[in-house]
Structure 1
Amino acid sequence: MTGTRAEAAFSRAVTAFSTPTLDLLHGRFAPFVVASLSLLFTADRASIPIADAQAELSEILDELRGAGDEEDDRRVPAGTGRDVARNWVRLGWLVQQIDEDIEVYRLSAHAVEALEIAGRTGGGRTRVSNSRVRTLLEAVEHLADSAEADPLRRLARLREERAALDAEIDRIEEAGRADPLDDEELYEEAENVLHLARELPADFTRVAESLKLMQRDVVAHLRRDERPTGEVLREYLQRAQDVMNSTPEGRAFAGALRLIGDPDRIDALTEQLHGLLRQPFARMLDATQRAELDAIGRRVELGVEEVLAAQRRASHVITGQVKTHDPLRDRQIDDLLRDVIAALHVWDGTGASAAPVRSLPLIDLGHLRQTVSSIRPPAVPAPLADADDVEFPDVDTRAWGGPRYAELEEYVAGLGPEFDLAAAFEDAADDTRRPVDLVGLLEIAHRNGMTESDAVSVVEALRPDGSTRRFAFGAVTARNPKEEAHA
């Protein structure tokens, strides 16, 4: 009998340690994993774009490798941030998904639970406080009352509660004041609240993952096409409409959603938490506890949003699969994939060749159009109307165009083997001293060869409307290849 009990207990322990949660906490790099995940994911950042997560993980690796000694280096995994993140996905600690057309990482339920255990253990010893025991007793009492079928006992219990409330009301009215608990008891109550709140993220993530698994199950059954298409469509369309009630976790969350899904209740919760942090007993909380207490409302809101997003995503995927379900095409793709997988198994990677995939399903293009419409417009455009109110500039609009290269090159040809570009620009004719002509002159000088110095040249350019602009640039001595060749 003892051996049987021991074997059963050992089997349960082996099963527990085979889960990703305890695998994370029991692994060689567990401190690094817990520290990195707690830095990457916070109450305000439940998901991270994959590229950002891998870059931040690389920075964490570089910091730890650069600051630690040889012993610390052995506690940090090898590879880049990308390698480490991909390994965590394989181990079931991170989940990849598409969020608003961006591929992101999210913590799995196992990773959330592991972080909760590590945070609770590292945050100090767990005390058997009055608040925690009372929470347990009240939960048991509520369970017993909810299961009570005798109306007389239920009424007696309700009358006791009403009598206690009436007595408390009379005491406050008589005394004219409400006596709160002392700071030590309020601190215990706050610790109990934090203990309960740390379990919420893992619960929410577990519900979202159960919905995702249900989605995959639905799509897999639909692709197998084991029953008539009409029957499959009717059943899974109904499941798509009522996806939340398809899993035990979903049904439990639906009940909790009636309590915490009301925005007014979330706002009230946030206001209550802010009020608690202003109370004198809040000074007994450390900075981490105060931050956790302040973030409870946000955690609840993000958890509800995560589950509802998973519900919408599952409904969308199932509905899309139902709409595009084509048994013949799916079977063709499955056959091709099986052929590819079989060929990969045969190929041993030592140079042996595998037969290539020589055929793919043909796309159904339907009926292509055989004629085109007339390229001529249906009617001539309306005649242009006279515009009497249009003002035309007095100068030639061509003067506002680009550099006059022909005139500039002819002018440069007569400046000698070398010339100062600023002096040449100042001596040029007015119609080639525009700002754009200065750019053109610099371009010609650069093309022919020029030398720059540390001195600064200042020139005044003349715009077509008569206004001037001053420009400063590094002094340039330009060469004239034509004059050099002539010399």
Structure 2
Amino acid sequence: MTGSRAEAAYARAVVAFSTPTLDLLHGRFAPFVVASLTLLFTADRSAVPIADAHAELAEVLDELRGAGYDDEDRKLPAGGGRDVCRSWVRLGWLVQQIDDDVEVYRLSAHAVEALEIAGRTGGGRTRVSNSRVRTLLDAVEHLSDIAEADPIRRLARLRAERGVIDAEIARIDESGRADPHDDDELLEEAENVLHLARELPADFTRVAESLKAMQRDVVAHLRRDERPTGEVLREYLQRAQDVMQSTSEGRAFAGALRLIGDPDRIDALTEQLRGLLAQPFARALDRDQRAELDAIGRRVEFGVEEVLAAQRRASHVITGQVRTHDPLRDRQIDDLLRDVIAGLHSWSGPGSVAEPVRSMPLIDLGHLRQTVSDIRPPRAPSPLTDPEDVDFVDHDTREWGGPRYAELEDLVAGLGDGFDLAAAFQDAPDATRRPVDLLGLLEIAHRNGMSDGDGVSVVEALRPDGTTRRFAFGAVTARTTKEETDE
């Protein structure tokens, strides 16, 4: 009997130490892991982008190595931040997710629980306090009350509670003051609140992970196609609609959500915590305890959001799988993945040699057409012999069109043998002082012949809507026409 009890106890201990929680705390680099995860993840930062986590962890490693912590006994893991984070994912301490199209790391439930144990153990006093015993007794009393089926005994308890409350009300009315408890008792109560709050993140994470596990289970059963498609669709669509009720953790969280999911309740909790921190007894708390007490409301809020996000993600994945379920295609994909994995194993084995790809395979296109029809148009369009041949929809369309070449040619013809292009443009009528007309005038000057000066000319162009635009260019002296300059 003793041997079987010892064996059973030993077997339970072996199972406990095989979990990622105790593996984290019992590992060779446990102090580094606990310290790093505590720095990366806080009450206000439950998810960290993967790139940021790699960079921040690399900084932690460099700082500790620079301080000499890795000189003896190998107290720090090898590699950089990326290698360490990937190993933590394999060990079950970090979880990779996609939030708003960004890959992030989150703590697993095992890691949260390990950090809670480390924080509670290293936080100083751990004692059997009056507050914790009273919490246990209150929980037992509440369980007994809600399980009580005898109405007479239930009424007796309620009347006794009402008598105590009425006596307290009468005392305050008579004395006109509410005497608070002494500071030691209030500090003990605060430590109990912190103890209870440290367990919340692990509870929330366990619910979220149970939903993810249920999601994987649903998809795996659907892909195996063990039952008729209609039966599978009916069952799993129902589970997708009511995913929170599919696990015991989810049902427990749904009950808790009715208590803490109300935004007004969260706001009230935050105000209560701020009021407590303003009390005189709170000055006896250290800085970490005060910060932890102040973050309880945010912990609850982030925990609720984490579970609800996991619920939405599971519903989306299951619904998408049901809608696109194709047994034949799924089997083909599974076969292909198995072939790829088998090939990778054969390449990565000891002494294995992978043949290099010396040339890319040629695709068999079959017989291509050897003649094609003439893609050239049958004839070119007729040239425009007169600018007036162009029909504009309205006057405004022409105003915003290209240069007015006819008006510009007439302007140049009346300027004499040579002229300064900037001065000619500034003296032109408003209708031909648009930015495009400046380009047209430069084109005409280039065609007839022009010479560049050493200065810089600045002109002001006028758009059709009345706005102006200044342009600067090298000074240009232009000729009137080619014919006149050739004589």
Q: Do both share a fold (TM > 0.5)?
A: yes
Contact 2:43 2:298 in 1 (8 A): yes
The aligned counterpart of 2:351 is 350
Give unmatched runs, 5+ long, in structure 2.
358-390, 400-429, 462-467, 473-487
Which residue in 2 is equivalent to 1:87?
87
Task: Give the Cα–Cα distance (whole angstroms) in 2 for the partners of residues 178 and 318 of structure 1.
Answer: 56
Residues 1:270 and 1:114: Cα distance change in structure 2 (over 3 Å): same
Q: Secondary structure at the match of 1:180?
A: coil
Q: State whether structure 2 residue 157 is matched by structure 1 residue 176.
A: no
AA partner of residue 41 (structure 1): F
- Counterparts of 2:343 and 2:234, CA distance in 1: 38
1:316-331 alignment, distance < 5 Å: 316-331=316-331
**Cα distance, 1:80 vs structure 2:** 0.9
Q: Distance in 1 between matches of 2:323 and 2:203?
A: 32
Distance in 2 between residues matched to 1:319 and 1:55, nearest whole Å: 36
Match of 2:433 in 1: 394
Q: Does 1:14 align with 2:11?
A: no
Q: CA deviation at 1:337?
A: 2.3
Separation of aligned partners in 2, 1:131 and 1:158: 23
Cα offset, 1:400, TM superposition: 7.2
Structure 1's 172 and 330: CA in aligned 2 closer, same or farther, altered over 3 A? same
**Match in the other structure for 1:124:** 124
Cα distance per residue 1:2-26 (max 9 Å; x no partner): 2222221111111111110010011
| Contact 2:269-2:297 within 8 A present in 1 as well | yes
How far the C-alpha of 1:338 sits from its partner, in A, is: 2.6
Match of 2:138 in 1: 138
The separation in 1 between residues aligned to 2:74 and 2:244, in whole angstroms, is 45
- Once residues 48 and 104 of structure 1 are traced to their aligned partners in structure 2, the CA distance between those partners, rounded to angstroms, is 5
Alignment gaps of 5+ in structure 1: 357-381, 413-427, 435-461, 471-487
Aligned length: 400
Within 5 Å, give how 1:42-441 maps onto structure 2: 42-71=42-71, 74-347=74-347, 348=349, 350-352=351-353, 384-387=393-396, 392=431, 394=433, 397=436, 399=438, 428-430=453-455, 433-434=456-457
Deviates more, 1:226-235 or 1:95-104: 95-104
Report deviation, 1:314.
Answer: 0.2
Q: How does 1:33-48 map to 2 (within 5 A)?
A: 33-48=33-48
SS at match of 2:149: coil
Q: CA deviation at 1:350?
A: 2.9
Q: Deviations over 1:125-158 (max 9, x none)?
A: 2122221111111111111112111111111111
Please, which moves more after superposition, 180-189 or 232-241? Answer: 180-189
- Shift of the 231–388 alpha-carbon distance from structure 1 to 2, 3 Å rule, reads closer
Shift of 1:397: 4.2
Equivalent residue of 2:396, what SS?
Answer: coil
What is residue 457 of structure 1 aligned with on the other side?
Answer: none
Q: 1:163 to 1:343 in 2, by over 3 A?
A: same
Residues 36, 57 of structure 2: 8 Å contact kept: yes
| 52 and 264 in structure 1: CA distance in 2 versus 1, 3 angstrom threshold | same
Structure 1 range deviating more: 99-108 or 127-136: 127-136
Aligned CA distance change for structure 1 residues 469 and 63 (closer, same or farther; 3 Å): farther
User: Quick check: 1:240–1:314 contact (8 Å CA) kept in 2?
Assistant: yes
1:204 aligned partner, one-letter code: F
The answer for the alignment partner of 1:23 in structure 2 is: 23
Letter aligned with residue 433 of structure 2: D
SS of 2:98's equivalent?
A: strand
> What SS does the corresponding residue of 2:103 show, helix, strand or coil?
strand
Does the C-alpha gap of structure 1 residues 397 and 217 become closer, same or farther in structure 2, counting only changes over 3 Å?
same
How much does 1:387 deviate?
3.0
Deviates more, 1:207-216 or 1:169-178: 169-178
Alignment partners' CA distance in 1, 2:173 and 2:439: 88
Note the C-alpha offset of 1:333.
Answer: 1.4
CA distance in 2: counterparts of 1:69 and 1:244, whole angstroms: 46
Does the C-alpha gap of structure 1 residues 392 and 106 become closer, same or farther in structure 2, counting only changes over 3 Å? farther
CA contact (8 A) 2:116 2:199 kept: yes
Aligned residues of 1:399 and 1:464 also touching (Cα < 8 A): no
Q: Structure 1 residues 464, 5: CA separation in 2 closer, same or farther (over 3 Å shift)?
A: same
User: What do the CA deviations read for 1:246-282 (whole angstroms, capped 9, x no partner)?
Assistant: 1111011011001000000000000000111111111
Tell me, yes or no, if the aligned pair for 1:21 and 1:114 is still in contact at 8 Å.
yes
**Contact 1:400–1:464 (CA<8 Å) still a contact in 2?**
no
Distance in 1, matches of 2:232 and 2:100, equals 29
Aligned partners of 1:88, 1:467: CA distance in 2, in Å?
62
Determine helix, strand or coil for the equivalent of 1:61.
helix
Give the 3-state SS of the residue equivalent to 2:281 in structure 1. Answer: helix
Q: Compare CA radii of gyration and give the structure with the larger one.
A: 2
Normalised TM-score (structure 1): 0.76
**Matched residue SS, 2:104:** strand
**Aligned equivalents of 2:397, 2:128: Cα separation in 1:** 92
* Cα distance, 1:282–1:464 mapped onto 2, change above 3 Å: same
Tell me, in whole angstroms, the C-alpha distance in 2 between the residues paired with 1:386 and 1:395.
15
Determine the C-alpha separation between the residues in 2 that align with 1:400 and 1:170.
96
Question: How big is the shift at 1:184?
Answer: 1.3
100-109 or 388-397, larger mean C-alpha shift? 388-397
Contact 2:70/2:76 (8 A) holds in 1: no
Task: Name 2:374's counterpart in structure 1.
Answer: none
1:36 maps to amino acid: S
Shift of 1:342: 3.7
Alpha-carbon deviations, 1:107-138, whole Å to 9, x = none?
Answer: 00000001111111111021222211111111
Q: Tell me the distance in 1 between the aligned counterparts of 2:237 and 2:397.
A: 67
* SS of equivalent residue, structure 1 residue 272: helix
| Residue in structure 2 matched with residue 415 of structure 1 by the alignment | none
